[in-house]
Amino acid sequence: MENISTLINLTNGSKSSRDAAADFILSRPDLHLEFIHSCYEINNPDHHKACWILEIIAIRNVNWLKEFLEIICTNTQKLSNESAIRPLSKVLFLLIESHYKSKKNGIQLTQNQLQQLIETNFDWMITETKVAAKAHAMRSLFLLGKEFDWIHPELKIILSKDYSKQSTAYKAVARQLLKKIK
């Protein structure tokens, strides 16, 4: 299979299908850039499948994303499909976690990229995004709040305000983070 579009079209939600697609992408460096761009082709009804694959790649090796940080940080906030937002919220969390975990070998985000990620994650927190994306967003914002001191007070307000209206899963993550913020 030489075509990214065909690969994405044939990928389904099963773990084995997403793993096979990730294996293929990882084995073909000549297709990496085209693949990353396919995640953000919002006019393509299957672009969310590329995001599923990207999540698998990021879980396996977040450092693979290093050369695509600008594309990811700039374009993720343009996504509106919930099936694309959920895996990208995990990808952003993994990038942020790597940025703060390992200054030598991890991801190094610029101040501009950090600002873009802050904006994207706050947008997900205050819009009607599904709970899985919100959970990753609140975890990302918690980490970012260790560097940007204004984030924790804002996050605390959002979590406290929305707490009673949210799902059990949201409440569990919010409760955990509110304890850490205090």
Tell me, what CATH number does 126's domain have? 1.25.10.10
Farthest CA pair distance, the chain:
52
User: For residue 131, which of 163, 95, 91 has the smallest C-alpha distance?
Assistant: 163
What is the number of structural domains in the chain? 1
> pLDDT per residue over 125-166, tens digit each?
999 999 999 999 999 999 999 999 999 999 999 998 878 888
> pLDDT per residue over 73-95, tens digit each?
999 999 999 999 999 999 999 99
Residue 12, φ and ψ in degrees, nearest 5: -120, -175
CA–CA distance, 39 with 161 (Å, rounded to integer): 33
CA atoms within 13 A on the CB side of 139: 20
For residue 29, the enclosing domain spans 4-181
Q: CA 8, 14, 16, 17: dihedral to nearest 10 degrees?
A: -20
pLDDT over 60 at 20, yes or no:
yes
CA–CA distance, 27 with 32 (Å, rounded to integer): 9
